[in-house]
A and B are shown apart, each in its own frame.
Chain A
């Protein structure tokens, strides 16, 4: 997760998650309909206004490239304008649904889940999964560097790929998980349902309620109108 994309005034994480869900469902259901693009545009504006500016801007180039490529492929395969339009809407729905995930920090989300008494096993797993993404990129780079040092430059050969890339990567993953487990245990995390404190509670604000009501209204409007 990119720290720079976090919202200036973070959304209430649960509402962020709920909004993602609603947008993805509505976007995928309404993809072939005319007003879907209006719905997606409005949702993007809502996110922008409610503080997710950086995440909103960050998804634009990815969404543009994906829309161009996949609507093109869909048109080439089906020769149908409506199918291509639906493909664009599906990609946009997924891209916009990702915004709260980019804008809300994992720590904030875990605090929120802990306050809601969600099982520790889920919050712990979620925090590790979220924090592991940037770490994995770094590990892959290190394995590639080690490959170059050993003179194994080509990834095209299955033998080299298996011996020099795959096995070292899996070994690193196992080692990282062992270190991470030790670190988690020393910080007092347990997989059981023992009592725990949240020192920085995440509370619902008026703007969060306004945000989720707006999203709900837009989704309902798109589905029923």
Chain B
């Protein structure tokens, strides 16, 4: 049987994705605390949120394996980021669109766990890239200076963000697998 790439979202899917977004948002509440350190330490905001985002979004994607699920979660989260930092909203949405597109090209959707894993491993590091691109485009020298001021810190932070994303995605897949086996996480 031919599998559909674009499936419509049911109310249950939207509710689950909204719940996951709310939990991710709550657990990412530490981010505003470090936002003032952004011009001093590169990628600090991404570092403190990458584990939660990759873990909870993985659970969301394992339950709702539909193209666009990542974008919907990012949209729900982004709507609240819009109130605090509009840049984050645009960064979150643009990154989610890029990841959705990449997964569509590479795996034709989230049917396989490796697609979910790849999506979540790409999501946070691409957030760092989008921040750099934004600052390059809009010429915020202070934000760019932090990138070059301490290259070792920049590399370490990038590696740390990637490592936390991998950890979160693996943990998410492991827990989702256990919940699927026990029948809690029905598709």
Contacts and interface: CB of A to CB of B under 8 A. Distances in A.
A170 B172 CA distance: 10
A128 B18 contact: yes
B16 A177 contact: yes
A53 to B, nearest CB: 19
Contacts of A100: 83
A20 B9 contact: no
Interface in A75-122: 77-78, 83, 86-88, 90-91, 94, 97-98, 100-101, 121-122
A177 B36 contact: no
Given A21-B83, A66-B33, A189 B19 contact: no
Contacts of B9: 121, 191
B72 A121 contact: yes
Contacts of B82: 17, 20-21
B85 interface: yes
Interface string A8-21: 00000000010011
A189 B11 contact: yes
Nearest to B22: A132
Contacts, number: 139
Contacts of B15: 124, 128, 177, 180-181, 184
A180 B40 contact: no
Contacts of A178: 12
A132 B21 CA distance: 10
B75 A122 contact: yes
Interface string B155-187: 000000000000000000001001100001100
Contacts of B76: 125-126, 129
Interface in A163-202: 166-167, 170-171, 173-178, 180-181, 184-185, 189-191
A170 B22 contact: no
Interface string A144-157: 00000000000000
Q: What is the interface of chain A mostly: helix, strand, loop, or mixed?
A: helix
A78 B146 CA distance: 11
Interface in B25-58: 25-26, 32-37, 39-41
B83 A176 contact: no
A90 B37 CA distance: 10
9 closest Cβ pairs, A-B complex: A87-B36, A132-B22, A128-B18, A181-B12, A125-B18, A181-B15, A70-B36, A177-B19, A129-B22
Interface of A: 17, 20-21, 24-25, 28, 32, 66, 69-71, 73-74, 77-78, 83, 86-88, 90-91, 94, 97-98, 100-101, 121-122, 124-126, 128-130, 132-133, 136, 166-167, 170-171, 173-178, 180-181, 184-185, 189-191
Interface of B: 8-23, 25-26, 32-37, 39-41, 59, 63, 72, 75-76, 79-80, 82-87, 142, 175, 178-179, 184-185
Given A94-B85, A133-B22, A181-B15, 8 more contacts: A20-B83, A24-B83, A66-B32, A69-B33, A70-B33, A136-B22, A166-B175, A167-B175
24 contacts: A24-B85, A24-B86, A28-B85, A32-B142, A70-B37, A71-B36, A73-B37, A77-B40, A83-B39, A90-B36, A125-B21, A125-B72, A125-B75, A129-B79, A136-B23, A167-B179, A170-B179, A173-B23, A174-B16, A174-B63, A177-B20, A185-B12, A191-B10, A191-B14
